[in-house]
């Protein structure tokens, strides 16, 4: 069993990013909701605990809190932003509104460090950190001392080395903080005594062992989408249970242009039991009149289960349903205790009764880049491992409003054009995800000297390491111009193309 660090999530936008950075440092990490009982935290046997940031004020009525006994477990604790303020309040210090003292800070901030603190080891005397706080620590609890300050924050970093309790007012997990990764490594290795035992080679062996223990001699049906996650899951499951695995690809009619053909070509060449199911008509009928994207996800999730149950009955004694669920799916669906951003069809979109003995999700605790690393460890071809993400509901959530065959064809063709332009200009390797969306907006235009009242296509492209955060891609203007010109010329019913320059947060990667 790997050493574990627990992140208690107080609703901060960077909570999952903290976990990702810790895993990058080769230490396994789990995100738990702030309400998690102390007994459950202790059962995890963590070598360290991190308290995340959050939007609340610690002195506000009903603000998220923690059991003060958390700081008496003898386990190192690192509080970040709200987490550090909560630590101070619970241990007898004083947190004050920064506005009244002129101490509010947002964005890049020059920070001064005292390298004598183990948390600041190997750091320069000053560097930029990323601040985002409306409150600040005015009086520290007994036993704490300051090791980092800014022009407006007298306690940007502080700690009690005897009890191994530390607090940071800034965010070391974001890339904008210089030496942020080093600070987290200092906490993990110098303070928590981490061994750095989290790697994909060990994980693959452990996952296959757990699959065999759970499935026994039972047959497994994998919901295969052809994307990175389910493809890696298929190889992992195949090595674990062999021919007792059946991969079922359901063509729901919401795939990109020629994608089903490509999936059939690749997986038919593997030594797997592959079943292709044409369910286009039933999925489109199920979505008739539906416009809300969350409702679409739930309907598609329920319909998937119906199809998989039907296929399982044809196979006979299939006991387990397997999915390529990954950690961001779990987090965004609220399954880790946070807010529901969107219900992924394979998590929050599943019905209560699934008709199987159980569900196998061997990638459930992995981030996207970890899934890719695992795929390479398993020998999955790079053309599959490096594929950009594609949502399980497919183009159904990239058609805003009601889904029709005509709209699907429009967005399918627009998406194909956009991908061709990106590929022809050698930009594909510089962008982590790019696609077209058919908006639910019509606008007036002029084509061939005649007035048109046609649809608007939105283009979306982002760069991201883990898809928990993302920046819009700075695509050259001439490439966007070519994509716009070709789409309006080649795709019927479109007279306007726009480019989405939103980052995540505040937006999500998908535009739905």
* Residues tagged active-site: 81, 171, 173
Task: Give yes or no for a contact between 385 and 369, defined as CB atoms under 8 angstroms apart.
Answer: no
In 3D space, the residue among 323, 320, 366 whose CA is nearest the CA of residue 348 turns out to be: 323
Tokens of 383: 């053309």
What lies within 8 Å, CB to CB, of 28 at 6+ separation is 2, 3, 4, 5, 197, 198
SS3 sequence of 341-390: CCCCCCCCCCCCCCCCCEEECCCCCCCHHHHHHHHHHHCCCHHHHCCCCC
Return the H-helix or E-strand segment holding 90: helix 82-90
C-alpha distance from residue 286 to each of 27, 128, 393, 473 (Å): 44, 52, 13, 35
CA–CA separation, 168 vs 180, rounded Å? 11
Does an H or E element contain 73, and which?
A: none
Q: Give the strand pairing for 28-33 and 273-278.
A: unpaired
Residue 45 burial (CB < 10 Å; 0-12/13-18/19+)? Answer: exposed
Longest Cα separation, the chain: 78
Nearest-angstrom CA–CA distance, 188 and 209: 28
Token pair of 145, please?
Answer: 């001392």
Q: What is the DSSP string of 165-228?
A: EEEESS-TTSTTSTTHHHHHHIIIIIIS-------HHHHHHHHHHHHHHHHTT-EEEEEE-SSH
Residue 193 CB neighbour total at 10 angstroms = 12
Q: Rg of the chain's alpha carbons, rounded to an integer?
A: 25
In angstroms, rounded to a whole number, what is the distance separating the alpha carbons of residues 418 and 395?
Answer: 15
Distance CA 16, CA 347 (A): 17
Q: 160: cis peptide before it, omega within 30°?
A: no
- Helix or strand (DSSP H, E) at 334: none
Tokens of 457: 């296509």
């Amino acid at each position: 069993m790997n050493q574990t660090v627990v992140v208690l999530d107080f609703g901060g936008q960077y909570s999952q990013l903290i976990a990702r950075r810790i895993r990058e440092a080769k230490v396994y990490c789990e995100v738990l909701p702030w309400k998690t009982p102390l007994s459950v935290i202790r059962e995890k046997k963590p070598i360290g605990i991190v308290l995340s940031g959050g939007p609340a004020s610690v002195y506000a009525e009903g603000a998220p809190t923690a059991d003060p006994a958390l700081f008496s477990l003898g386990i190192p604790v690192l509080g970040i932003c709200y987490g550090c303020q909560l630590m101070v309040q619970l241990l007898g210090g004083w947190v004050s509104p920064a506005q009244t003292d002129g101490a509010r800070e947002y964005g890049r901030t020059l920070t001064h460090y005292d390298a004598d603190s183990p948390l600041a080891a190997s750091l320069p005397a000053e560097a930029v950190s990323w601040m985002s706080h409306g409150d600040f620590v005015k009086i520290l609890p007994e036993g704490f001392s300051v090791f980092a300050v800014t022009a407006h924050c007298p306690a940007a970093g502080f700690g009690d080395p005897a009890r191994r309790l530390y607090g940071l007012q800034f965010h070391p997990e974001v890339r904008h903080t210089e030496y942020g990764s080093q600070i987290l490594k200092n906490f993990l290795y110098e303070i928590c005594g981490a061994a750095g035992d989290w790697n994909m080679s060990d994980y693959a062996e452990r996952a296959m062992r757990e699959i065999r223990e759970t499935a026994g001699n039972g047959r497994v049906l994998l919901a295969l989408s052809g994307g990175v996650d389910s493809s890696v899951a298929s190889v992992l499951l195949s090595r674990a249970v062999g021919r007792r695995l059946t991969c079922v690809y359901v063509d729901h009619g919401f795939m990109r242009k020629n994608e089903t053909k490509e999936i059939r070509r690749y997986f038919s060449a593997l030594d797997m039991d592959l079943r292709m199911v044409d369910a286009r008509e039933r999925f489109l009928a199920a979505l008739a009149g539906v416009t809300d994207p969350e409702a679409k996800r739930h309907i598609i999730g329920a319909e998937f289960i119906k199809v998989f149950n039907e296929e399982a009955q044809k196979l006979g004694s299939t006991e387990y349903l397997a999915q390529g669920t990954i950690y961001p799916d779990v987090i965004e669906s609220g399954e880790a205790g946070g807010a529901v951003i969107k219900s992924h069809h394979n998590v929050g979109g599943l019905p209560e009764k699934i008709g199987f003995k159980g569900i196998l999700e061997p990638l459930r605790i992995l981030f996207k880049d970890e899934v890719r690393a695992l795929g390479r460890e398993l020998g999955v071809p790079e053309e599959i491992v490096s594929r950009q993400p594609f949502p399980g509901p497919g183009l159904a959530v990239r058609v805003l409003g009601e889904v029709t065959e005509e709209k699907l064809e429009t967005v399918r063709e627009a998406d194909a054009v956009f991908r061709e332009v990106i590929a022809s200009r050698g930009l594909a390797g510089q962008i982590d995800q790019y696609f077209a969306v058919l908006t639910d907006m019509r606008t007036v235009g002029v084509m061939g000297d005649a007035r048109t009242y046609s649809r608007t296509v939105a283009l979306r492209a982002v760069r991201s390491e883990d898809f928990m955060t993302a920046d819009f891609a700075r695509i050259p203007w001439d490439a966007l111009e070519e994509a716009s010109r070709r789409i309006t010329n080649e795709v019927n019913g479109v007279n306007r193309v726009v480019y989405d320059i939103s980052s995540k947060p505040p937006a999500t990667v998908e535009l739905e």
